[in-house]
Amino acid sequence: MFLSDYGEKKRVADILKQLERSYPNANTALHYKNEFELLVAVILSAQCTDKQVNKVTEKLFKKYRTPEDFAKLSPEELAVEIKGCGLYRSKAFYIVQTARELVNKHHSRVPDNRTELESLPGVGRKTANVVLSVAFGQAAMPVDTHVHRVAGRLGLASGKNPLETEKELIAKIPPPLRKDFHHRLITLGREICTARKPHCSNCPLLSLCPGNKTT
C-alpha cells in the first residue's frame, strides 16, 4: 500500500517536472490587459478557439474597454461585434448582463472570489477558475476539454466530468503548481495529446503515461 502510494506520488512529481522542462513558458493564449478583458475573453472562448477569440477581441477591446462601455450596449449590438465566435448571441447577452452587474453591484470591478464570480451571468465554474487562477493568482484548477482529456489519459484523474477531474487534480497537484500545470497540460493537449489521434511517439511524457498509443 505504502509502496504503491509512493510510486504514484513519484510519477506525479515526474510528470510535473517533465511538463516544466517541455513547456517552461506556457501561459494563457488569450489576449487581455486587465481582469475584465480576461473575463470577457474567457466567456467568448466557450466552444471557440483562443485564436479566433483573439481576432474578435483585438477589434472589440479597441471600441469597448470597461464594464461601463459594455453595460451601455444592447445584447443585439454586442452580438454584431462578436459574430466571429460561436454561440455569439447568447454570449452577447451574458456579457452585457455581466457588465451591468459589475457596474451596479461590484463598483465595476471583477470579483476575486468564486461565489461572486459564479453569480455573474454566463460565468460557470471553469470560467471562474480561469479568472481566479490567471487574473488573481489563486490556486484554482481550471478544467477544460484538453485538461480533462489529457489528465484521464495520463491516469491523473478518472472523473467522468470536469468537476470530478478537478477534484482529483486538486488532491494531487500542489497549490503553487496548479496554474502552470493547467497551462502546460493544455499546451500538451493541443500540440501532442490531441483528441482524435494523439502523437504519442512525440510525447515528452510517453514513459510516464499508461494510456500511450505507441503499441
Dist. CA 90–CA 88, nearest whole Å: 6
Dist. CA 98–CA 36, nearest whole Å: 10
Known catalytic membership, residue 144: yes
Half-sphere exposure of 120 (CA within 13 A, CB side): 35
Dist. CA 147–CA 187, nearest whole Å: 9
Of the candidates 55, 72, 144, 213, the residue annotated as catalytic is 144
Of the candidates 91, 126, 172, 179, the residue annotated as catalytic is 126
Matching residue, cell 474567457: 42
Give the containing element (helix H, strand E) for 162.
helix 162-172
Neighbour count for residue 49 (Cβ, 10 Å): 13
Q: Where in the sequence numbering do the catalytic residues fall?
A: 126, 144
